[in-house]
Structure 1
Amino acid sequence: MPKNNSLGVGRVLIAVYAVFAVSATARASYQLFREFDQAPVAYSLSLVSALVYLVATISLARSGPMAAKVARIAIWFELLGVISVGTLSLTVPELFAHPSVWSVFGMGYAFIPLLLPIFGLLWLRKMG
C-alpha cells in the first residue's frame, strides 16, 4: 500500500469505512446489550460487520505490505459476508426478525455495504 493512502480517493474510502465502523459498533452494542433476545442472529452479525469495518479502517489507513494484506482479507471477508447475509436474509427471513447492516445486501444503507468492499478491493488493486 502506498504512503499516500490517506489522500484523494483513499481518504474518502477510509472515511466511509470509519463512519461504518463507528455506526455499526454503536448499533451492535446497543442491540446486543438491550435487545439480543429479539434477533440474536442479526445482532451478532451486526457485531461481526462492525469488527470487520474497524479492521478495514485501520488497515486501510496504514501503509505497508502487512496492512495491505490485512485490508484485503478484511474486505474480502466483508464482501462474502454481505453476499451471504444478503442471500440468507431473503431466503430465510425468519433469521432476520430485525435487519443487520448486511441484510438484503445493505438495502437499509443504500446498498453501501455491498458497494464499499468492491470499491475497497478496486482501490487496493490500483495501489498495488
Structure 2
Amino acid sequence: MDKFPRPTPVLSAIGYLLGISYPLLAFSATGRSVYQLFFKPDLATAVGPLTSLFAAFCYLAATIGFAYRRPWTWWLSLCVLGIESIGTLATGVLSILQPDLIGSSVWRLFGIDFAFLPLVQPIAGIVWLAWTPTRKLFGIGSSSVSPRLSTA
C-alpha cells in the first residue's frame, strides 16, 4: 500500500484550484502593496499596504503547504489559513468601522476588490485540508496529532 494514496478526481480538482489561485493572489497582493508603498505618494496610512504584504506572505506559505504533500506542510497550511481567515475578518470589520485606518488592502471589506476570494478561499482550504482523503494524502492519520518535521 502506498504511503501517499492517489487522490480522487474531486480532491485533485479542489487541490489544483487552491494550488493555482493562491500563488496568483500572492503575486497580486505583493504587487498591490509594493505599488502602494513605493509609488503612491498620497498614501494616508501604511496599514493597508502592510496588511496586503502580510496577506501575500500568507498566500505564499499556503501555496508551499499545498504544493508539498507532507505532514508538516498540512499543519503549515492549516495554521496559515486560520491566520488568514482571522486577518480577513478583522480587517474587513475594521474597514467598515474605521475605513480611514485601513485604507486600501487586499482584505478591505472582506476582499471586495478580489471578488471576496480572501474571505472564501481560506475557508475552502480548511475544509479541503480537513477532508479525510486529503489528510491521508498528506500522511495525516488518526495517530498524527502534532506536526512532524520529517521530509520522508
Alignment TM-score > 0.5, same fold: yes
Query: What's the C-alpha RMSD, in Å, of the aligned pairs?
Result: 1.8
Query: Counterpart in 2 of 1:31?
Result: 36
Counterparts of 2:101 and 2:42, CA distance in 1 = 12
TM-score, structure 1 length as denominator?
0.90
Distance 2:13 2:41 in 1: 39
Residue 60 of structure 1 pairs with residue 46 of structure 2: no
Would the alpha carbon gap of residues 66 and 36 (structure 1) be closer, same or farther in structure 2, given more than 3 Å must change? farther
Work out whether residues 52 and 105 of structure 2, in 8 Å CA contact, stay in contact via their aligned partners in 1. Answer: yes
Q: Contact 2:91–2:102 at 8 Å: present in 1 too?
A: no
Alpha-carbon distance in 1 for matches of 2:18, 2:86: 19
Counterpart amino acid of 1:85?
A: T
- State which structure, 1 or 2, has the greater radius of gyration over its C-alpha atoms: 2
User: Tell me, which stretches of 5 or more residues in structure 1 are unaligned?
Assistant: none
Identity %: 36
Question: After the TM superposition, which parts of structure 1 deviate over 4 Å for at least 4 consecutive aligned residues?
Answer: 2-6
Greater shift, 5-14 or 47-56, is seen at 5-14
Match of 1:76 in 2: 82
What is residue 150 of structure 2 aligned with on the other side? none
Aligned length: 126
1:117 counterpart residue number: 122
Maintained 8 Å contact 1:101/1:108: yes
Q: Which runs of 5+ in 2 are unaligned?
A: 136-152
Higher helix residue share: 1
What is the alpha-carbon distance in structure 2 between the residues aligned to residue 122 and residue 29 of structure 1? 31
- CA distance change for structure 1 residues 4 and 100 in 2, over 3 Å: closer, same or farther? farther
Indicate the residue corresponding to 2:14 in structure 1.
9
Moved more, 114-123 or 21-30: 21-30
